[in-house]
Structure 1
Amino acid sequence: MSGHIWEAIMKELWFRGELKEIGRDECFELLGSRSVGRIGYCTSGGAVILPVNHAVIGGEIVVRVSPGGQTARYLRDNAPEPDLTYEVDDFDDYTESGWSVLVTGTARATSPESLASLTDRPVPWPAGDYWDYVRIHPTRVTGRRLVPA
């Protein structure tokens, strides 16, 4: 048996990581430690999962979406507070470890004036000043961490 195959077998058998649940407070800390996540929702055409910038403000996730984009359309078509999910994660290929936080909740449009100071607001990476603010109110927050063996 070649060395690479043997190493792969041994690694799978002896060095597998362990999944641990993350509490709600730590989930929010982890959400706040990143500026990009994925918003997810279901349409008649199937599941949609898109990367967006976010900020955690007052126990909610605030994202900005293009008013003409598919997420804004989903929010309008399913108003007043459509269901969606939001996920943020981080991983390390080398140590085969990482974490993932999943928020299930409802969304609603919000005004910039209702948010904290300008420095706390999410800033989309694409250029333009036409972005709408959307608050995601969590109804369920779960997280898992994969720790190396």
Structure 2
Amino acid sequence: MTATSPPPVRHTETLSRQEALQLLKGAPLGRLVFSHRALPAVRPVNHVLLDDRIVIRVHSGAALLGPARAGAVVAYEADEFDPERRTGWSVVVTGEARLVEDPALQQRYRAALEPWIGGEMAHTVGISLDLVTGYRIGAAGE
């Protein structure tokens, strides 16, 4: 594409649940969306997809702890875009956030997920995969 040529025509494709989860599984980072003090909060976090849930780790002062203790409904979004080609995908999972209390599961999840930020990540949170949606933006004919 040059500065004088028009951008190629793009289309949006709805992903199946399986396709969306496969893309999410390969994504290194996502955005957790939850309610904090009656306002929307968004946090970038790394995750792992295990046992039909998104697993993240949080520190003891994390704003998510209260909602996770209450089983609040949250959203988790991951994406990847290529600005040059104007293509990409986005996956959103909506589900309940719950603290993982089982010691064996905590150990398993901690072994599978190394947080990107430093500090003691004392808590593990699982997000159920209740509603999974995804879209891909691609060139016409792809």
TM-score by length of structure 2 reads 0.85
What does residue range 11-30 of structure 1 map to in structure 2 within 5 Å? 11=7, 15-30=8-23
What is the aligned-residue identity percentage?
A: 30
* Higher radius of gyration, 1 or 2: 1
Q: In structure 1, how many angstroms separate the alpha carbons of the residues matched to 2:49 and 2:72? A: 19
Letter in structure 2 aligned against 1:134 = V
> Residues 116 and 60 from structure 1, CA distance in 2 versus in 1: closer, same or farther, beyond 3 angstroms?
farther
Where structure 1 has 5 or more consecutive residues not aligned to the other structure, the ranges are none
Q: In structure 1, how many angstroms separate the alpha carbons of the residues matched to 2:41 and 2:65? A: 12
Match of 2:46 in 1: 53
Match of 2:123 in 1: 132
Asked whether the equivalents of residues 36 and 63 of structure 2 are also in contact (C-alpha less than 8 Å), the reply is no
Q: In structure 1, how many angstroms separate the alpha carbons of the residues matched to 2:68 and 2:110? A: 25
> Structure 1: which 4+ aligned runs deviate by more than 6 Å?
none
Q: In structure 2, how many angstroms separate the alpha carbons of the residues matched to 1:119 and 1:106? A: 20
> Residues 60 and 93 from structure 1, CA distance in 2 versus in 1: closer, same or farther, beyond 3 angstroms?
same
Where structure 2 has 5 or more consecutive residues not aligned to the other structure, the ranges are none
Matched, 1:66 2:56: no
TM-score by length of structure 1 reads 0.82
> Residues 117 and 72 from structure 1, CA distance in 2 versus in 1: closer, same or farther, beyond 3 angstroms?
closer
Asked whether the equivalents of residues 55 and 109 of structure 2 are also in contact (C-alpha less than 8 Å), the reply is no
What does residue range 1-149 of structure 1 map to in structure 2 within 5 Å? 4=3, 7=5, 10-11=6-7, 15-76=8-69, 79=70, 81-111=71-101, 113-114=104-105, 117=108, 121-149=112-140
Look up the SS of the partner of 2:47 in the other structure: strand
Cα offsets for 1:40-70 (capped at 9, x unmatched): 0123442111101100001110011112021
Higher mean C-alpha displacement, 90-99 vs 122-131: 122-131
Q: In structure 2, how many angstroms separate the alpha carbons of the residues matched to 1:74 and 1:118? A: 20
> Residues 56 and 47 from structure 1, CA distance in 2 versus in 1: closer, same or farther, beyond 3 angstroms?
same
Asked whether the equivalents of residues 106 and 124 of structure 2 are also in contact (C-alpha less than 8 Å), the reply is no
